Amino acid sequence: MLTIHGVARSRGFRCLWAAEEAGIPYRHDPVPFGPEGSKGAAYLAINPNGKLPAMTDGDLALFESLAINMHIAGKAGAPLLPGGDDGARALQWTLWAATEAEPNAMQWAYHTFMRPPEQRDPAQAAAGAEALRQRLAVLEAHLADRPFLLGPGFTIADCNLAGVLYASWFNKFDYDAFPKVAAWLERCLTRPAALKARALREG
């Protein structure tokens, strides 16, 4: 059975959310951080990066949370993962999430709440926030006339990008200048499937 390895307090959260959206049978193996988990031999055989999460599905072993999500969505098919041009758009937003949104959101997060206070640099936090705001301006314009990234319905593109932005949203990044983005995040992150995954992470 498709198994998501990794505690919900990791990027495994977004994979648990995707599996709930897909409505497929799956198992959660809450591998912890550290030598008994993500750095242990059994887990490294699945994900040699020693990072959470990973996924196994039959003979397939995958790392990279957003690749895992594309696999999960592919099993469900449309509307979660549409075909044709919208499939390409879903991939575009997924790569944008990983390369444009996530590094800047993480820079802000590391220097705001994730690292111990003595390792935080306010200038790095401010630079990350400013770079993230530049990306959010693009997203704000895109969401001006559509409720979800690809149009009227929720897709894996929304799950992937909102999953990447989740930690900033939850930890009170200032979204006030981006009301469409804030409303979209609220719409995505309060869906029943998201709430199930959030209960595992926030509980």
Ligand X SMILES: N[C@@H](CCC(=O)N[C@@H](CS)C(=O)NCC(=O)O)C(=O)O
Which residues would be at the binding site for ligand X (CB under 6 A)? Answer: 10-11, 33, 38, 50-52, 64-66
Beta strands in the chain (DSSP E): 3-5, 27-29, 54-57, 60-63
3-state secondary structure of 152: coil
C-alpha dihedral sign at 180, 178, 129, 167:
negative
CA distance linking residue 42 with residue 48, whole number of Å: 10
Nearest residue to the partner ligand X, using Cβ = 51
Least separation in angstroms between residue 177's CB and ligand X is 27
Q: Is 59 exposed, middle or buried (0-12, 13-18, 19+ CB in 10 A)?
A: exposed
Least separation in angstroms between residue 40's CB and ligand X is 12
- The nearer residue to ligand X, 47 or 155, going by C-beta atoms, is 47
- The nearer residue to ligand X, 52 or 189, going by C-beta atoms, is 52
- The nearer residue to ligand X, 22 or 109, going by C-beta atoms, is 109
Least separation in angstroms between residue 11's CB and ligand X is 4
Least separation in angstroms between residue 170's CB and ligand X is 14
